[in-house]
Amino acid sequence: MNLRIELYNERYFDQLCQVMDKARMQELKTANIERVFLQLKDAPYLDYLLNCKIYVGIKEEKLIGFVGLRPHELAFLYVDSDFQKQGIGTKLMKTALLYLDKPIKLEVFSDNFVAKSLYKKFGFKVIKTVVEKWSNEYPVDFSQDSMELK
């Protein structure tokens, strides 16, 4: 696959939102909480994401995945569902590991077995699982794993 990884530029904002929205809905469905979905442009974590160091995967001038990094944290990793299982996540993980110092932590829905499989491939281990309510507005339970790479 001809994939170019580069530092995020705001010209990719709309495409980043499209990838995030599509993949986020897929992710929320794995936890049976798709009713809490918000488009990225309306999400309370938009500023948090944009304050990450973001690397994007570009194929034929189209953003098809991205990874957001904070010190010692893999905060976001999303791949357009049309391009999953083609090594994009692996290439984004390799990029992330070039720029993150260990230990590296991340959070993932417990039932997101595809993502957890990718993380485990790189040596991440589950260190804690919590079950909690999403919010007062959406009092639905979900389970989330904290994973770490030492």
Query: What pLDDT is recorded for position 127?
Result: 98
CA-to-CA distance for 45 and 50, rounded, in angstroms? 9
Joined together, the tokens standing for residue 38 give 């918000």
Nearest to 140 by CA among 109, 108, 107: 109
Q: Residue 41 has what DSSP assignment?
A: G
Query: What pLDDT is recorded for position 84?
Result: 93
Phi-psi label, residue 49: left if phi above 0, alpha if psi -120 to 50, beta otherwise: alpha
Query: What pLDDT is recorded for position 1?
Result: 66
- Over its length of 150 residues, how does the chain's per-residue pLDDT go in tens digits? 699 999 999 999 999 999 999 999 999 998 889 999 999 999 999 999 999 999 999 999 999 999 999 999 999 999 999 999 999 999 999 999 999 999 999 999 999 999 999 999 999 999 999 999 888 888 888 999 999 999
Sign of CA dihedral 46, 64, 29, 121: negative
Q: Specify the pTM.
A: 0.94
The 10 Å Cβ neighbour count of residue 55 is 21
